Structure formats: C-alpha cells, structure tokens
Amino acid sequence: MTKRPKFYDVGGIKVEIGPPVSTDGGLVVVARQVRGSAWFKGLVGSLRTAVAGFEGQRFGFVGEEKLSRTLLALICGFAMGYRSGKEIADVIEADKLWRKVLGSRVPQIDLSRLVCVLAEVGVDPLRVALLASASEGIPALHLDGDSSLLELHGKQEGGAFNGHYKEFGYHAGWILEASGRLAALWLNEGNAHTAQGQAEKLAWMLAQGVRIGSYRGDAGMPSAGLMSGLEGMGATYAMRLRSNSRLDEASQAICPELPKVGGAVAFSEFQHAVKSWGTERRIVVKFQVPETKDGAAALFAEAFYFVTNRDDAPAKVVEHYLNRGEAERRFGDFLSAFEPTFRHAEMAKNEVWAQLLALGHNTLVDLRNKVDGGEELKPRPSLKPIKGEGGWSALATTFTMGRVKPSLARFRAFALKLANTALEHSRSQWFRLHPQHIRPAWVGALIAG
C-alpha cells in the first residue's frame, strides 16, 4: 500500500513534508567527469603502486575500490564547494545521492587517513595527475606563472609573514594554462621569493613529456635558469623586468620625443646583458606619458621593460604580455570559488590538500567549458593614433562583444547546486534533477556532455 503524502497549509501555500531533497544534484556530472578522465584512472593506478610499497600504516588503501572511492569523495567534495573533510563526510552521511554516486559511505576518518598516506607517498603522483589534467587534449601548453599568498591561521609548518603582502601564510607558486586549468600549484614558505620553483617546475614538466609553447611571467620571474630552460625547450617567453639605472640609461638613448598627452605611448627595443644571464637578450621597452593627479600630462615619460625571445614587433610583445592579466583573474577565480584553507600542521599534508583542490578546480573548468555563458560587452585596451602628432599613439579602451564564461562560483551555484528528488518504482529507482535557477540550459548541456 502506497503511503499518501501529508500536506500542510502554510499561509495559503500547500507544503508537503517528505523525504529529504538534496541540493547537490550536479554531483552526478562532477563524478562522471572525474571517473571518465584519463588522469584519474592513471592517478589511482600510480597511487596503488605507491601505497603498496609504503612500509607504514596503509589503512586498506592498497585496494582499488576503497582508494578510488575515498579519493573521488575528496575531489568531488572540493568541486562541490565543501572545504574540509568533516563537511564532506557530513554531506555524504546526510545525502542519499552522495552515497549512491560513491557506492558507499565514506567516513571522515578515511578521508583523514588518506591525506596522511598521500603525504607520505602521494604528492608526486598528484602533481603528475594535475599536469595531465591541464594538458589533456592540448598539443602545446601556453603558460602563465606567478605566485600568490595563501593565508594561514595557525602554526603550520612553512608558514611565515610575507613583507610584500603584509600577511602570514604560504607564498604559493602556480602555473596556469591558457585553457584556464592549473598545470601546477605548490606551496613555498611564506617569505620565499616570488620566483621560487618556477624554473624547476618548467623543467619537470618537460621531463614529463609535455610540450611548452610559451610562458609569461611577472617582474620577479626572469632568471638565467628559467630563460635558458625555456630557450632549450624551444618555447617563447615574455617577462617584465624591474627598472634599474642600467636599463634606464640604455632606454634614454632611444626614447623618442613623445607629445605631452597623457597616455601617449611609444615602443622600442635594445639588447641587454646581465652578468648572471651570461648572454645578451632582447629587451622591449614601452614609453608612456603618465597623467598627474590634476589630469595634466607629466613632463617625463615612464619606461617599462620586458625581456623576451619573441620576434614580434615591440608593441605586439607588450600587448601579448598584458594579456597575462587574464591568468591573474582566473587564479583569483580559483581562490574565490575554493577559498583554500590549510588545517594541517605538516606542510606535506597541506601540499596534498593543494593538489586535490587544484584537481577539483580543473574538473570545474572542464565542466564550465560545456556551457554557453552568452555574450557581453568586454573592455579591451588598444592603441589609438594621435592625429597630427607624428603617428604617436595613446592608450584607449574599446568595448567589443565577446563570449563570456561564468565565474566558477556562479557556475557551481547555477549548474551544480541542483535540487533532486529520489523516485522509486517497483522495478527501478532514479533521481530527478530540478534546475531551479535562471540557467536550466546549462544543466542540459552538462548531462548531454
């Protein structure tokens, strides 16, 4: 006999009290994306081998089923917006959909134990999996490298006060691929130099068999090792150089007579050598007349320097470099969507945490690429000729219609945080997804994909 639902009248609204309704309906497509990826299958295999050779406590993670289920719970939990092992374990316990997708309950103790085991033997396989997830389907990687401070609120190993950011935390290095995927994320001590690990990470990527097409870096990145390594790979690069007296002296000799118009720019180049470089390299310089506080043009032009092995015209080199702002925005999107917190005292465990967060991020990026965010007006810096001034240009902003992608947080809210209902029949059981937001078409695109 079927039990009839019980309804209550609440202010004229009929309310049914029934089985719990999950709001994580999008979990089904997240788990499918992870399970179907080559990097996840390779990761499970390499981790099983590593765990089997571990002489410490292995907690049953040599078995493929337990290892795969627990690893999947962590990556999917981060992708769905949960920030700790406890939050992930709690939602698995409370939500029937999670248990259905994973195949079983995953208690918090198993999540914690897996992080402990991975801190011993799993960091390298996780890094390889992250690189594989970033390079999947891409013949040559086009990379942007930088560093950001990740705040800490405790006595974690490696945490330190950073004088530039005026905060305590890890000074994490990161390399982002042009697709928006993270190719590498690593934790440096809080007071480490901004370029720490960049050259080594690029050499490691090459050793993993990937091809690097280009690299952009900020002013702290240029070093003899990094540039020589990129040149040896056959990759192009463009990086800012901090101004100094030698660069300023060399640029003054080629500085043109710019019109006194705020924003007027000109470009040139020269060869320059630093003792540590061991050879001369091409320096592109952008001269720009700044505006003073009262809106008038300044008397002297500022000079900005870029070291590069690209053969584009100087203006094109600068334009290429300035587009790296998109990478900074994307990493900010990662920070906003995942709000990384590191709760372990040991740096190795926090390193595992960072790799799992990055894998969750790449999963979201791949899913987001399946939806259509529409078009909107987008600002674009451009050069506008100054009439009657010998062809000099001024920086201007134009607006053009361009394709847009939702932020990761918005994508998660509108395409993954979906109500679902458990439906049972005498012969089957299934879940009904309810796209309750303004972008139901996104859900269809994910299911079809």
Q: Which residue has the higher pLDDT, 364 or 220?
A: 364
Task: Inform me whether the pLDDT recorded for 165 exceeds 60.
Answer: yes
The pLDDT of residue 3 is 56
Residue 211 has pLDDT above 50, yes or no: yes
Report pLDDT digits (tens) over 378-411.
777 677 776 544 456 776 777 777 777 889 999 9
Nearest CA-CA partner of 174 in 386, 313, 304, 330? 330
pLDDT band at residue 419, thresholds of 50, 70 and 90?
confident
Q: How far is CA 116 from CA 54, 334, 396, in A?
A: 12, 25, 53
Identify the pLDDT of residue 390: 47
Give the separation between CA 127 and CA 109, rounded to whole angstroms: 24
Q: Is the pLDDT of residue 428 over 70?
A: no
State the burial class of residue 36 (Cβ atoms within 10 Å of its Cβ: 0-12, 13-18, 19+): exposed
On whether the CB atoms of residues 368 and 179 are closer than 8 A, the answer is no
At 80, list the tokens.
């769905």
Note the pLDDT tens digit of each residue in 36-88: 999 999 999 999 999 999 999 999 999 999 999 999 999 999 999 999 999 99
Radius of gyration over every alpha carbon of the chain, rounded to an integer in angstroms: 26
